[in-house]
Structure 1
Amino acid sequence: MNKIRKQEYARLSGKNRKYIKGQKYILLSNRENLTSDGKTSLNKLLVANKRLNTAYLLKESFGQLWNYQTEGWARKFFNNWKNSLKWQKLEPYEKFIKLIERHWDGIAAYSKPENKVSLRFVEGLNNKIRVFQHRAYELKDEEYLKLKVLTCMLKKI
């Protein structure tokens, strides 16, 4: 989305450029997270520039992918989303599609309800791993680090 904003800024001149300048945060934020002034600025920007409007709508609609509970429905949504990009000529989104295709297995795994882990747990585990790595800086044994991580997740007796 930001690359498209930069491309449009470079392409336009004069009066039309002023709508795009300083709007990075507004374009990258979700609509529900914007203040009323932010929503007003966003609407003005999207009315003024059709290409940014299209890119923004595609960005917002892509967020629905994370709501699907089965891989089949998620894949169907992604294919429909990808097909809607065919005639838009948005090169950064074409690169994004290739990225998603490369990582589809992980994305599909996320769509399964049993794989939805809270971020709090993941962040806590990452912090423990960093502590282990810091304490065992001189140790070069990766297997020992794996063992320490696994044992930290066991319930205490």
Structure 2
Amino acid sequence: MKRERLDFLADSPLYTKRLAFYVGRRVRASTIQDVARELKLDWHTVKELEKPYMRAQLERAGTPSPRAIGIDEVSIRKGHTYRIVVSNLIRSRPIWFGGEDRSEASMRQFYDWLGENKAKRIRLAVMDMGKPFRNVAGEKAPQAAILFDKFHVMRHLGEALDKVRKSEYARLSGKERRYIKGQKYTLLSGKENLSIDGRKALKTLLAANKRPEYRLPAQGVLRPALGV
């Protein structure tokens, strides 16, 4: 038995390329679930039909030459199975997805795919504070400035502030603990997100922790302005 190959069929012999490309264009503006409901198809069928359209778009775009890239990882299964995603920040679109984990070896696969000449044209690399991404960027694109994304910087600052808050609460006793007790949200939130009571509490905390101003006496000795 022999099956004749027809050029107008998609990867699946049950659908035409025209339908596959229609599904691909629809998924650009809608979710897979919405398109599946609209066309009365299974979710996995829509997912498979989308792939030929995506491959055609990648071939049409060719290998990019980004000036600013964003590097992050995504979890693809439950647990700790990750892949690296690199985006062109100027054009606001992903350009590479791969690797086996978040290691330096996986990160090097992107630069090998991009090529040495195009890697030298990168001027900015935005990433988290993990060493693998930073080390490989310094190795493959040393001319690029490295910028840590705000989320990870703020997370580390929040953790440091919470650590100090707990240590100060343990150090104080009695009425002095009123400056720390119940103030975690006040300390870790932005001022614009606080309620009126929260802003009053923050003002009290800042006043209690304000360092005294210093002035330079005639003798040239630094002393507190309050004479303490």
TM-score using structure 1 length: 0.30
Greater relative CO (CA pairs within 8 A, separation 6+):
1
Would you tell me which structure has more helix in proportion to its own residues?
1
Which one has a bigger Cα radius of gyration?
A: 2
Would you tell me which structure has more strand in proportion to its own residues?
2
